[in-house]
Amino acid sequence: MQSRKAFLMACVAAVVVLFGSMTGHAARSRTYLTFSTPVALPGVTLAQGTYVFERVGISQDLVRVTSRDGLLVYLTAFTDEVKRPAGLPLDNTVIFAEAASGTARPISAWFPESASTGRAFIYR
């Protein structure tokens, strides 16, 4: 009886540690970004404003972009992992691709704050 109780407590502790590390990881990969002009992501143009970029799912390949309050989801898409380019400051969180004059600049990659790797958006 005593060993069963100890085993159960160990299992509960393991779940708490696992869940805590998963939620902590998710919190580290959430970034609030404010744009003063429209920007583009695959299949969507975001108006000027503040948005939340975050990795979701176990694999961390999915990126979700929502309104600041999280009520509107603008994009949930698979991304590719990319290394932060040499010389890109750690506080620089996005890289833009070129765009035609008068169109929204597409975000090519997002880097969570201070991360050495980021997520490249896939445009097809």
The per-residue pLDDT for range 60-95, each reduced to its tens digit, is 899 999 999 999 999 999 999 999 999 999 999 999
Decide if 87 is inside a domain: yes
The larger pLDDT score, comparing residue 31 to residue 27, is at 31
Decide if 7 is inside a domain: no
Decide if 18 is inside a domain: no
Residue among 48, 73, 72, 71 nearest 63 (CA): 73
Indicate whether 124 pLDDT > 90.
no
Gap between the Cα atoms of 83 and 109, Å rounded: 10
Decide if 10 is inside a domain: no
Decide if 44 is inside a domain: yes
Global confidence as pTM: 0.75
How many domains in the chain? 1
Decide if 48 is inside a domain: yes
Its domain, for residue 81, covers 30-121
Decide if 21 is inside a domain: no
Q: What is the DSSP string of the chain?
A: -HHHHHHHHHHHHHHHHHHHHHHHHHHHTEEEEEESS-EEETTEEEPSEEEEEEEESSSS-EEEEEETTS--EEEEEEEEEEEPPTT--TT--EEEPP--TTSPEEEEEE--TT-SEEEEE---
When pLDDT is averaged across residues 25-31 and rounded to a whole number, the result is: 62
Decide if 62 is inside a domain: yes
